[in-house]
Each structure stands twice: as C-alpha cells, then as structure tokens.
C-alpha cells in the first residue's frame, strides 16, 4: 500500500492506493476502510481519480440531474415540508409553525421550485445550443419532485452515466456533502446501485459565471447610490450567506488543510466576496464620468441561523452588522446574497423583509443585489462546468476567479462532516 496524503496520529483519514491499484482510505488510528463499504460510497470516478481529486480525462455523461432543496407550493404544504427539512431532529409542529410564518407570509409558497423549473429550462436551452445532446432532469431533497424520482426517470429514459449538479456553490454539509448523500440515497431507493453511475460537479463558488452576476449587481447598486448623491465613503457592502453551526463550519472542506476560523465554508465566501468587491470597484473606476471612486468597506455576514441559543453559529448576524455600521457612521447598506443562487425564502424573508426593516429602523438606505437566478452569464457558466467534466479539462486549465483553485471533483475523506448525524454513503468522494 502506498500512502499518498496522511496526517499521522491525529485520526484524520488519508488517501492511499491499495495492492489492486484502487483508492482506499486509511484512518491512521482505527484502521482501513476498503472493499464493499468503500465501493458503495464512491463511484468508479472517485476510485480512479482519488489521489489527484480532479477528473482529467473525458467522461461520456449522457444526462444531468439538477439537485435542489425544494420548497412548499401552498399553505397545506408548509408543515409537511418543514417536517422533511427537520426529519430526525424531533422538532414538534408547534416550533415548526414559528418558521412556517415566513412561508405563510407569502401565501405558503416558496419561490424556489419555480426558480428551479426556470433554471432547468434555461440550462436545457444552453445545452442544446451547444449541441451537447444531454437532457437536464431536476429533483429535490425536501419536496416534490423528489430526487429519487428524477434518478428513476433518467434511468427509464435510458441514461446510465449521469452528472449531478447541486444548486449550491460552497462547501459545507448541507450545501455539498448532503447532496452527495442525497444522490447515494436515491440510488438505494431506486435499487439502481451498479446500474447507474452518478458523479457530481464540484463546488463552483469561484467559477466566472457565478461571480460575474454578483459583480454586475454590486456595480449597479453602487451606481444607484451615486445617482442619489450618496457618499460611497459611507456606504457599506455586506456579503450575506446562510449561517451554519460553528462545529459544522470547522469541518467544511478537506480535513488536512487549515482553513482558519469557519473552515473552508468561510474561506470560500471571503475569497469570493473580495474578488466581487475588487471587480466592482475596478469597473466603476474605469468609467471616467463617475469621478473619483473611493474604497468601499465590506464585510462577510451571516443570516438565517436556527437551533438553540446555546449552540455557536457563524457570526455576525446581518442585522447586528447593520446596527454596528450605522452607529459607526454608515449611511447606506448594500446587501449581496453571495451565499445563494436564487431568490428563495431566506433571501425574501431574511434580507428583503427583516434586514430591510433593520435598515429603516436605523435610518439608512438599504439596497439588495439580485441573486444569479437565470442570469444568462450564470447559466452559461454552469454549462461550462458540465463541459469541463465532459472534456476532462485539466485542473489548471479550468477558469476560476479566486486564489483558491478549481474545487475537487472527488471530495476528500472526512470532508464536510455533519457532527450530529455522522457519515453516510455519498457519491463522488472518498470515505468516510
């Protein structure tokens, strides 16, 4: 056995190559994960490209499955949907009803399903325009249409080598590993293990199409402030993303890298926010009609936390940040939902409702930048990611916008652990 990436004595799994030339995982304290357990948790792609982590040979994928979170589409759907989201946690309906009020405020309808229908359609148009000959299916984790149904439909239509694309750009349990587990569970549910191969597009936080849509939004917002004769020197740009438990954040991304506080999840958001801000200011400064453009202060903030107050989550909360910046002299707040790909409930309630109310309470102007949605540059960028996998584009030839490189096609051992639930079988990665 050849050890390729180990951390002796600390219990972190390391990638190794066994006598058969296939990847295995060694836990330097508890022994080796291999054989049927390993094969069930990782596709052939994960086996063949475990050590480099990037698939650099062409793969003849014949379909794509878009994986979404799901959302209710009527008042009667709200509590059943929230039961799905919180399954296994024993949360009573009385507590769920508190969260349900966010949905009931909008008629019990989350916009996320309709947004994903539109994204699915837009992706299909772009894939067809490029002549890829690949149907785009769509399934959800928590509401109809469910992911196993999409997997079964793809199989029934004759597809056997499928690429999964999750509607989430960053690394954490709920935004990456859980989707990998969802695909594995869908293969179990449908009985298609061994009959269908599903790989997954890596996290795309630093892909050009994702970043470009936010750059345009920030430029437009700052131009709006200029048109109102608002001083950019007293503007604050708050990049907002979903808060997660600090313990989960520390376990986000590969375990053999010191990502700093907040793990890979925070590091990725900080890197993306810095690039967006730099590109936006550069675009404004290139316009000679605008005069001198000062540096604009920005900050990464969090929203939508849940769980008991005693459990640490990533901070600061956006509402606290708005209060602090206004006390320090800010006159306008630009909110950038950098952690979200579409205007779903967390954006509509936590930003458009609560955060805007906080701005009003503190007497400052609040503006909110659009999410990528079906922005053509974002849609085109997602198809670029699919083509990278079809073509086996080398890691160093993949266009990315931050100092962090193109993310892994084969997730690392121990990546994005859920402390509460532990590890479960997952596609496109190494155990555990």
Residue 324 token pair: 């602090």
In this predicted model, what pLDDT tens digit does every residue of 271-311 receive, in sequence order?
999 999 999 999 999 999 999 999 999 999 999 998 788 99
Better-scored residue on pLDDT, 320 or 255: 320
Q: Strand, helix or coil at 235?
A: strand
Q: Of 121, 119, 118, 112, which is closest to residue 85 (Cα–Cα)?
A: 112
pLDDT at 5: 40
Burial readout 250-279 (b: 16 or more C-beta within 10 A, e: otherwise): bbbbbbbeebeebbbbbbbbbbbbebbbeb
Residue 410 DSSP symbol: S
Residue found by looking up tokens 């979404």 in the block? 68
pLDDT at 47: 65
Question: Which H/E stretch holds residue 271?
Answer: helix 263-285
pLDDT at residue 407 tops 50: yes
Cα of 301 vs its chain's centroid, Å = 16
pLDDT at 423: 84
In this predicted model, what pLDDT tens digit does every residue of 77-101 receive, in sequence order?
999 999 999 988 888 999 999 999 9
**How many whole angstroms separate alpha carbon 323 and alpha carbon 328?**
9
State the pLDDT confidence band at 22, using cuts at 50, 70 and 90.
low
State the pairing for strand pair 23-27/31-33: antiparallel
pLDDT at residue 317 tops 80: yes
CB atoms within 10 A of CB 44: 13
In this predicted model, what pLDDT tens digit does every residue of 138-154 receive, in sequence order?
999 999 999 999 999 99
**How many whole angstroms separate alpha carbon 192 and alpha carbon 427?**
13
In this predicted model, what pLDDT tens digit does every residue of 24-65 receive, in sequence order?
554 433 434 444 444 444 566 666 676 678 999 999 999 999
State the pLDDT confidence band at 236, using cuts at 50, 70 and 90.
very high
Angle between helices 263-285 and 208-227 (to 10 degrees): 50
Q: Is residue 384 within 8 Å of residue 209, measured between CB atoms?
A: yes
Mean pLDDT (the chain, rounded):
90
CB atoms within 10 A of CB 151: 28
CB atoms within 10 A of CB 147: 27
Better-scored residue on pLDDT, 26 or 161: 161
What the chain holds in terms of domains, given with CATH numbers, is 2-48 (no CATH), 63-204+375-397 (3.40.50.1400), 208-368 (3.40.50.1400)
What number is the average pLDDT over the span 218-242? 98
Q: Strand, helix or coil at 298?
A: strand
pLDDT at 24: 53
Q: Of 242, 230, 239, 171, which is closest to residue 200 (Cα–Cα)?
A: 171
Q: What's the chain's Rg over C-alpha atoms?
A: 22
Question: Before 316, cis peptide (omega within 30)?
Answer: yes
Q: Is residue 347 within 8 Å of residue 382, measured between CB atoms?
A: no
Dihedral sign, CA of 270, 274, 275, 276?
positive
**How many whole angstroms separate alpha carbon 123 and alpha carbon 130?**
11
pLDDT at 50: 67
Residue 422 token pair: 């532990």
Q: Strand, helix or coil at 195?
A: coil
What number is the average pLDDT over the span 351-376? 98
Q: How many residues appear in the chain?
A: 432
Residue 210 token pair: 């994702």
**How many whole angstroms separate alpha carbon 162 and alpha carbon 358?**
45
Angle between helices 78-85 and 93-104 (to 10 degrees): 120
Q: Is residue 430 within 8 Å of residue 23, measured between CB atoms?
A: yes
**How many whole angstroms separate alpha carbon 140 and alpha carbon 385?**
21
pLDDT at 264: 97
Q: What φ, ψ does residue 258 adopt, rounded to 5°?
A: -85, 100
Question: Which H/E stretch holds residue 269?
Answer: helix 263-285
């Amino acid at each position: 056995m050849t050890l390729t990436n180990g951390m002796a004595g600390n219990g972190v799994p390391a990638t190794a190559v066994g006598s058969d030339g296939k990847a295995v995982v060694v836990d330097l304290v508890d022994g080796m994960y291999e054989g049927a357990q390993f094969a069930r948790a990782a596709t052939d792609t994960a086996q063949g490209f475990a050590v480099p982590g990037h698939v650099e040979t062409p793969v003849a994928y014949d379909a794509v499955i878009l994986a979404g979170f799901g959302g209710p589409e009527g008042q009667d759907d709200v509590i059943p949907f929230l039961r799905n989201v919180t399954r296994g946690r024993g949360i009573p309906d009385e507590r769920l009803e508190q969260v349900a009020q966010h949905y009931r405020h909008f008629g019990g309808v989350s916009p996320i399903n309709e947004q994903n229908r539109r994204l699915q359609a837009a992706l299909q148009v772009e894939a067809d325009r490029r002549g890829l000959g690949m149907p785009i299916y769509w399934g959800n984790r928590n509401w109809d249409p469910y992911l196993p149904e999409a997997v079964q439909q793809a199989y029934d239509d004759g597809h056997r080598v499928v690429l999964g694309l999750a509607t989430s750009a960053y690394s954490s349990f709920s935004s990456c590993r859980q989707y990998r587990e969802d695909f594995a569970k869908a293969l179990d549910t449908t009985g298609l293990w061994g009959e269908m191969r599903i790989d997954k597009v890596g996290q795309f936080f630093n892909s050009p199409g994702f970043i470009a849509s936010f750059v345009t939004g920030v430029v437009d917002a700052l131009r709006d402030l200029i048109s109102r004769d608002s001083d950019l020197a007293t503007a604050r740009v708050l990049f907002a993303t979903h808060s997660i438990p600090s313990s989960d954040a520390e376990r986000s991304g590969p375990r053999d890298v010191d990502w700093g506080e907040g793990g890979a999840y925070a590091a990725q958001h900080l890197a993306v926010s810095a690039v967006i801000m730099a590109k936006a200011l550069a675009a404004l400064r290139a316009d000679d009609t605008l005069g001198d453009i000062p540096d604009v202060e920005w900050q990464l903030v969090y929203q939508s936390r849940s769980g008991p107050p005693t459990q640490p989550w990533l901070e600061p909360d956006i509402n606290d940040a708005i209060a602090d910046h206004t006390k320090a002299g800010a006159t306008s707040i630009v909110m950038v939902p950098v952690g979200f790909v579409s205007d779903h409930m967390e954006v509509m309630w936590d930003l458009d409702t609560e955060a805007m109310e906080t701005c009003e309470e503190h007497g400052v102007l609040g503006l909110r930048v659009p999410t990528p949605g079906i922005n053509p540059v974002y849609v085109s960028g997602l198809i670029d990611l699919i083509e990278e996998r079809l073509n086996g584009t080398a890691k160093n030839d993949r266009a990315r916008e931050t100092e962090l490189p193109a993310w892994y096609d084969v997730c690392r051992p121990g990546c994005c652990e859920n402390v509460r639930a532990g590890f479960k079988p997952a596609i496109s990665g190494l155990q555990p």
